[in-house]
Amino acid sequence: MHPTREKFNIFERFFLFCAGSDTDLLRYCRRSEQIKHMGFGSLVLVPAILALVSMSYALSTLEGIQDKLWLALLGGFVWSLIIFAFDRFIVSTHRRKTSDIAELKRPAFYLRFSFALILGIVISHPLVMLYFNGSVADQMEANLKQEQAYIAQHYDNMINEIEGRVFMMDSLYLEKQAERNRQADIVAKEIDGEVMRNRKGELETTGLKGKGPSAENKIAQLNRLENELQALRMEQLAEKKSLKEEKESLTTSKDSSMAAFSLSTDYLHQERALEQLKEGNPVVRATQWLIIILFVLVDLLPFIFKTFSTYGLYDKVLGDEEESLQGLDLQERTAFWQQKLGQLGEY
């Protein structure tokens, strides 16, 4: 029979659970060994807490969840449990070798390292977004104004085109009206017997008073111009009415489009704003990478510390078990394990 050892309290058991360590085995190890494994557990817990903050913030930016904080927190809590399970599995399944060189020769080391690296990047990215939240918000506001200016310019171009058509119609009407007025002046002077010359000095009236043949011809031409002017006016009235309605419709569409295009704070728009910040400011890109590296190291710490920690009794027992149990059946493994516990009790 091996002597009984003091049981772990609830906090110690919790951290040992986080580390995935065997509490029954650790009860027979020195206190320093127990503290080391509790430290592994605390390091596993840190990325899970960061994952809670990271995912909660990422979900809070989604339009459907922005007014439901509890849902974002619930999603963050579930994600933190997933990260905790992954990190705990990586740490608990790692078996410390007797030397660091032997550790580096194991393919499993690089697989676990790569997986922990990916988890660190996934956790860190929303936290980077949170760190640059103020700058990202300013960039998104600038993007909003730019988009609204584009919408306004789009509608203004169409409205200006309509106004240009109206201006051309007015110019055509005024030109026709001026031609009519000039002809009316010629008719009046022809009847009054006044001599009138054009810009080239050519006579436009005969100088004979009264309604002679020349006056009659000029009156007929005046009537034709008057009819053309009235026809043009009627034609333009219908077209102007149509253009006015089209302009009012465009103005209404412009106002509604400007009002409908509001500032979106979802994660995709924040990603776009962050990329724009990095393009315009190299300091933002450098800071982003520093933050990512920091959080990646935080997620790698449990695995790295366990890989290169001091080789202890706990590691020796598990290493001996792994080597000795190869080829043994279930009953032989049970007997071997009981024997090892007995030896630890004597230790």
pLDDT band at residue 241 under the 50/70/90 scheme: confident
Contacts with 326 (C-beta within 8 Å, 6 or more apart), sequence order: none
Given this model, what pLDDT does residue 78 score? 93
pLDDT band at residue 4 under the 50/70/90 scheme: very low
Domain-located, residue 222: yes
Q: What average pLDDT does range 134-153 have in this prediction?
A: 80
Domain-located, residue 243: yes
Domain-located, residue 85: yes
Q: Are residues 251 and 158 in the same domain?
A: yes
Q: Which residues of 229-238 are buried (b: 16+ CB within 10 A; e: fewer)?
A: beebeeebee
Determine whether 58 is exposed, middle or buried from the number of CB atoms within 10 Å of its CB (0-12, 13-18, 19+).
Answer: buried
Kindly report, residue by residue over 73-111, the tens digit of the pLDDT.
898 899 899 989 988 888 887 776 666 676 666 676 777
Q: What average pLDDT does range 148-166 have in this prediction?
A: 87
Q: Which residues pair with 96 in a beta bridge?
A: none
Provide the residue range defining the domain that includes 160: 139-260
At residue 3, does pLDDT exceed 90? Answer: no
Q: Are residues 174 and 250 in the same domain?
A: yes
Token code pair at residue 4: 């009984």
Q: Are residues 52 and 143 in the same domain?
A: no
Q: Are residues 103 and 202 in the same domain?
A: no
Q: Are residues 254 and 148 in the same domain?
A: yes
Domain-located, residue 269: no
Q: Are residues 120 and 152 in the same domain?
A: no
Given this model, what pLDDT does residue 267 score? 66
Query: Percentage of residues in the chain with pLDDT exceeding 70?
Result: 76
Q: Are residues 151 and 126 in the same domain?
A: no
Q: Are 103 and 109 in contact (CB under 8 A)?
A: yes
At residue 25, does pLDDT exceed 70? Answer: yes
Given this model, what pLDDT does residue 315 score? 66
Q: What average pLDDT does range 251-262 have in this prediction?
A: 77
pTM of the model: 0.57
Which has the closest alpha carbon to 222: 192, 195, 185, 169? Answer: 185
Locus of tokens 């203004």: 156
Q: Are residues 36 and 59 in the same domain?
A: yes
Determine whether 6 is exposed, middle or buried from the number of CB atoms within 10 Å of its CB (0-12, 13-18, 19+).
Answer: exposed
Please count the structural domains in the chain: 2
Q: Are residues 113 and 143 in the same domain?
A: no
Kindly report, residue by residue over 164-201, the tens digit of the pLDDT.
888 898 888 888 888 888 878 877 777 766 766 666 66
Domain-located, residue 95: yes
Q: Are residues 248 and 208 in the same domain?
A: yes
Domain-located, residue 292: yes
How many CB atoms within 10 Å of residue 224? 12
Q: How far is residue 276's CA from residue 279's CA, in Å, rounded to a whole number?
A: 5
Q: Are residues 124 and 144 in the same domain?
A: no
pLDDT band at residue 243 under the 50/70/90 scheme: confident
Which carries the bigger pLDDT value, residue 199 or residue 330?
199
Domain-located, residue 268: no
| Average pLDDT taken over every residue of the chain | 77
Domain-located, residue 276: no
Q: Are residues 219 and 147 in the same domain?
A: yes
